[in-house]
Amino acid sequence: MKQRAYTVRLKEYTRPDELAQKQQKLVERAIQAAKNAYAPYSGFYVGAAALLSNGEIVLGNNQENSAHSSGLCAERVAVFYAGARYPGIPVISIAVAAMRDGTFQEEPVAPCGACRQVLFEKESQGNVPMEIILYGSKKIQVINEVTNLLPLPFKLDSL
């Protein structure tokens, strides 16, 4: 038997102004996107801003539905829209921000499992690492590639 351990590598910051200018802009756009989310059932508003390799920024936010499983998370909305609007263009960075009751979460909120899988596949399609920026009002985490969030992904060659 072999035992393996997986380590998550990330950088933590306490303020947005500690980030690079492009990262700050992406966080600002994710914050704005969160404010426009449709979340009447959970009251949990999430926004995502994806930077594409062509310089475009695509926004997404969670879209809830009374048939709960029909809703979509902000990350998937942004990534799917990027794929529809700019096919074949890699996503090189995505920022995520979440709020409840008009206040942004103090701690960063990580993508759910389904979003992690979608981010992994989008990263694989683009063949470049995708940076993930998770915004919290007291802490910001920057992860350099999706496999740090999903070390054991389902891969195309698994089919």
Q: Mention every residue, 6+ apart, whose C-beta is less than 8 A from residue 139.
A: 12, 13, 14, 106, 107, 108
> What does the H/E/C string look like for 6-50?
CCCCCEEECCHHHCCHHHHHHHHHHHHHHHCCECCCCCEEEEEEE
For residue 29, give both structure tokens. 């756009």
> What does the H/E/C string look like for 50-82?
EEECCCCEEEEECECCCCHHHCECHHHHHHHHH
Q: Is 131 a residue of the active site?
A: no
Among 64, 75, 123, 131, the one annotated catalytic: 75
**To 5 degrees, how large is the angle CA 139–CA 132–CA 10?**
60
The catalytic site residues sit at 75
